[in-house]
Structure 1
Amino acid sequence: MFIIGNFLIAIANILDIILTIYSFIVIIAAVISWVNPDPYNPIVRFLYRVTEPLLRPIRKLLPFRLPVDISPLILLLIIYFLQKFLITSLVELGYRIKGGIL
């Protein structure tokens, strides 16, 4: 059973790294949006392609429009929640399966 526990812990750690990298990408995209970026720049296009699929539904769910786009902030809060709840739960489950102590 320790193999399954180690597998869950490894998956949780990889998900944590991916969520952390994605949160940095969201922050960078939000900061770049404050200036008038060149839409043909490959970095700007990459940031837009990576963040827009998750930001667009959040914008649609907001019942009001503000002069400042708060959808990156909401996405960062969702990522933070996933890191604190899902990742921690997976790590604890992995340790319980292993029969170890946290």
Structure 2
Amino acid sequence: MLVDTIFDIIGILMTFYSYALIIYILLSWFPNAKESSFGQTLARICEPYLEPFRKIIPPLGMIDISPLVAILVLNFARNGLQTLSTMIS
């Protein structure tokens, strides 16, 4: 069914976006990694999604947990999409 295919594609894209977020977060552990062209590309992709979470969740000392919450929200959305897909079909 077309709707199942669309939901599958969106789910796959959400999974890849989760991986991009994880890689972007890990880049902060390496000096000058975010300044590389790869880091800047990931920043353009990931920062618009992370920014609202950073406004809501303040850092705990030197630890920013907002990316973790953002990934959890993305995973909940993906799981909800999968549930919706099974309910429709």
Residue aligning to 1:35 = 30
Contact 1:26–1:51, Cα closer than 8 Å, also in 2: yes
User: 1:68 and 1:89 mapped to 2: Cα distance?
Assistant: 35
State TM-score, norm by structure 1.
Answer: 0.78
Give the fraction of aligned pairs with identical amino acids, expressed as a percent.
32
| Structure 2 stretches lacking a partner, 5+ long | none
Residue aligning to 2:59 = 65
User: 1:69 and 1:86 mapped to 2: Cα distance?
Assistant: 28
Contact 2:59–2:65, Cα closer than 8 Å, also in 1: no
User: 1:10 and 1:91 mapped to 2: Cα distance?
Assistant: 12
Deviation at 1:22?
0.2
Deviation at 1:44?
0.6
Cα deviations across residues 62-86 of structure 1 (Å, max 9, x unaligned)? 1x33111112101110111011112
Task: Choose from 51, 69, 72 the match for 1:77.
Answer: 72
Cα deviations across residues 14-52 of structure 1 (Å, max 9, x unaligned)? 011000000000000000111222454210101111110
User: 1:87 and 1:26 mapped to 2: Cα distance?
Assistant: 21
Root mean square deviation of aligned Cα: 1.4
Q: For the pair shown, which has the larger CA radius of gyration, 1 or 2?
A: 1
Instruction: Give aligned pairs, total.
Output: 88
